[in-house]
Amino acid sequence: MSQTRPTAVIVLAAGQGTRMKSALPKVMHPIGGRSLLHHAVAAAAGTSPEHLVVVVRHEREQLVAHLDSLPVASTRTVLIADQDEVPGTGRAAECALTQLPEDLSGTVVVTYGDVPLLTAETISSLVEVHESARNAVTVLSAEVDEPTGYGRIVRDASGALLRIVEQKDASEDERAIREINSGIYAFDAADLRAGLASLTTDNAQGEKYLTDVIGHSREAGRPVAATATDDLWQVEGANDRVQLAKLGKELNRRQCEKFMRAGVSIIDPDTTWIDTDVAIGQDVTILPGVQLLGATDIAAGAVIGPDSTLKDTEVGAGAHVVRTHSELAAIGPSANVGPFAYLRPGTSLGEGGKIGTFVETKNSEIGKGAKVPHLSYVGDAEIGEGSNIGAASVFVNYDGVNKHRTVVGKHARMGSDNMYVAPVTVGDGAYSGASTTVRKDVPAGALAITVAPQRNLEGWVKANRPGTPAAQAAEAATEGEPASE
Ligand code: UD1
Ligand code: MG
């Protein structure tokens, strides 16, 4: 790859993106869990250029803050170039050059901030073609069925590239051309500088066209070429929300395919959504209706789904997660979660542990082999290794003003319908009866009970609810028995 490393990659993102009809800048709309701009910058950075420049103008502050927040910003410098009021892709490239050394030499790549499926590999092979032919400009083109709106690749009778003509400036014959300009180019730095210096706004749109650099280089006797890609998705931009959804779906299809080829079973790729930053180990099985979002990481052999959404969640090897919604949680190896579990941020479940049906957890550590199997809320708690929390229990963490913590020790056997009124601590190996309201600490090995003794008022139903089905059933059941007092 080292010989295909460009000197600079310029990502154009100064356009307005009005067709999105959105308060959010176009290039900040996400697919696959990353903004369009993040995808574009990641592909650019993936070619390890010496310089990476993003050209901005509309919503400048928001874009710059967003660029600063991207992971790439922590490992390399992303230069910002501000485009002025002169419109056009050519002007955008000119503004980018002001951020680069004046004597820049080598290959300068231009890409767009709204073309999310372009890969670093495709950019690198364009650079390779460009450099091995010693071209002044090499443009990535594509043959499409519906070329309307794109710049057209104009070739001479021998097939050599002459120039690019924009839709609005094109003649009828030129409009019939189906080979279009993707907007992705490799330039020799000196030729780019010379070409940009010659640009005017003398065209149908009153813009400085970057595409005119090609005609200029050609007229100056420099070699120019267009190389066609057959992967149209990689050069498709998102201009409205319909295209955004189409690109998102295709990105996802590619993600699923990548993981299946790497040894992940995806039962229904059509209903499985996997964000770009997700990691999945070998022999993981993903059942239908699963969304793996953010930085979710699934270890080998786990089974996820059906119908689960895991965001920024870590799942250990061999764990089973069924019909679950989880965010910022860690599920240990061989643990069981769901069906119908809700894991909120800060949940951590130990190896072989269980968070069962209709259980909500938050900011809680549930130890190795510990179980919260049914109908419970666990908030701000620590549950020790091997302990069992009975059905329908609530960790009462909120006093109306502050949140408090509950600690349950190891191997405790807690009854059903317990209320843990925090702050409170239950010792190792303790037990509790059903319906205990744990307000005081329970020492290790003690049995805690708070319920009053049960009283049975015999004959109450017959006396107070005569004639009801309950009274009749009771009468039938007690027939022949001696009346009790
Ligand atoms: C451009 C090409 C056209 C090509 C098409 C591919 C020119 C003159 N035309 O069309 O040949 O087929 O892309 O999609 O280059 N941008 C800026 N500053 C500007 C204008 C645009 O940074 O002043 C950025 C936009 O944010 C966008 C990209 O450049 O990322 C393309 O802009 P857009 O207006 O969509 O493309 P066209 O100029 O119509
Ligand atoms: Mg335009």
Give the ligand at the shortest distance from the Cα of 237. Answer: 1
Q: Are 137 and 191 in contact (CB under 8 A)?
A: yes
Query: Which pLDDT value is given to residue 2?
Result: 46
Tens of each residue's pLDDT in the chain, 485 residues: 445 799 999 999 999 889 999 999 999 999 999 999 999 999 999 999 999 999 999 999 999 999 999 999 999 999 999 999 999 999 999 999 999 999 999 999 999 999 999 999 999 999 999 999 999 999 999 999 999 999 999 999 999 999 999 999 999 999 999 999 999 999 999 999 999 999 999 999 999 999 999 999 999 999 999 999 999 999 999 999 999 999 999 999 999 999 999 999 999 999 999 999 999 999 999 999 999 999 999 999 999 999 999 999 999 999 999 999 999 999 999 999 999 999 999 999 999 999 999 999 999 999 999 999 999 999 999 999 999 999 999 999 999 999 999 999 999 999 999 999 999 999 999 999 999 999 999 999 999 999 889 999 999 999 999 999 999 999 999 887 765 55
The closest residue, in CA terms, to atom 8 on ligand 1 is 209
The closest residue, in CA terms, to atom 22 on ligand 1 is 14
DSSP 173: H
pTM, rounded to two decimals? 0.94
User: Does the beta carbon of 210 sit less than 6 angstroms from any atom of ligand 1?
Assistant: yes
Known active-site residue 130 = no
Q: Are 188 and 137 in contact (CB under 8 A)?
A: yes
To 10 degrees, what angle do helices 120-132 and 36-45 make? 50
Mark 174-185 as b/e (b = at least 16 C-beta within 10 Å). beebebbbbbbb
Residues with Cβ within 8 Å of residue 55, at least 6 apart in sequence: 10, 11, 12, 13, 14, 81, 82, 83, 92, 93, 95, 96
In this structure, the chain runs to a length of: 485
Q: Are 289 and 306 in contact (CB under 8 A)?
A: yes
SS3 content of the chain, % helix, strand, coil (to 5): 25, 30, 45
| Dist. CA 408–CA 172, nearest whole Å | 79
Report how far ligand 1's centroid is from the alpha carbon of 152 (Å).
13
Residues with Cβ within 8 Å of residue 436, at least 6 apart in sequence: 414, 415, 418, 419, 448, 449, 450, 451
Question: Within 10 Å of residue 337's Cβ, how many Cβ atoms?
Answer: 32
Query: Which class would CATH give 8-235?
Result: alpha beta
* Architecture of the structural domain at 258-448: 3 Solenoid (2.160)
Q: What is the mean pLDDT of the chain?
A: 97
Domain assignments of the chain as residue spans, ordered by start: 8-235, 258-448
User: Does the beta carbon of 281 sit less than 6 angstroms from any atom of ligand 1?
Assistant: no
Query: Which pLDDT value is given to residue 200?
Result: 97
Give the ligand at the shortest distance from the Cα of 210. Answer: 1
Give the ligand at the shortest distance from the Cα of 112. Answer: 1
Tokens of 14: 């100064």
pLDDT by residue (tens digit) across 436-479? 999 999 999 999 999 889 999 999 999 999 999 999 999 999 88
Q: End-to-end CA distance of the chain, in Å?
A: 95
* Closest atom of ligand 1 to CA, residue 88: 23
From the list 58, 374, 404, 411, the catalytic residue is 374
